[in-house]
Amino acid sequence: MERDFWLERWQQGRIGFHQDRPTPLLLEHWRSLDVAAGSQVFVPLCGKSLDMAWFASQGFRVLGVELSREAVEQFFAEHGLEAEIEDTRYGRYHRAGGIEIICGDAFALDEYVLRGCAAVFDRAALIALPPSLRERYAHELYARLPANCRGVLITLEYPQHEKAGPPFSVPQPEVESLFARHWHVQVLARHDILAEQPGFVAEGVTALHTVAYRLDRR
Ligand SMILES: C[S@@+](CC[C@H](N)C(=O)[O-])C[C@H]1O[C@@H](n2cnc3c(N)ncnc32)[C@H](O)[C@@H]1O
Which domains does the chain show, CATH number per domain? 2-217 (3.40.50.150)
- Given a cut of 80, whether residue 36 has pLDDT beyond it is yes
For residue 180, what pLDDT is reported?
A: 93
Q: 105 CB less than 6 Å from ligand 1? A: yes
Reported as a single tens digit per residue, the pLDDT across 65-83 is 999 999 999 999 999 999 9
- Given a cut of 70, whether residue 91 has pLDDT beyond it is yes
Q: 5 CB less than 6 Å from ligand 1? A: no
- Span from the CA of 134 to the centroid of ligand 1 (angstroms): 13
Reported as a single tens digit per residue, the pLDDT across 130-157 is 999 999 999 999 999 999 999 999 999 9
Enter the DSSP assignment of 134. Answer: H
- Given a cut of 70, whether residue 1 has pLDDT beyond it is no
Reported as a single tens digit per residue, the pLDDT across 197-209 is 999 999 999 999 9
For residue 203, what pLDDT is reported?
A: 96
In DSSP terms, 156 is beta-bridged to 210
Q: Which atom of ligand 1 is nearest to the CA of 167?
A: 1
How sure is the predictor about 37, in pLDDT bands with cuts at 50, 70 and 90?
A: very high
For residue 194, what pLDDT is reported?
A: 98
Exposure string (b/e) for 58-97, b if CB count within 10 Å is 16 or more?
Answer: eebbbbbbbbbebbbebbbeebebebeeeeeebbebbbbb
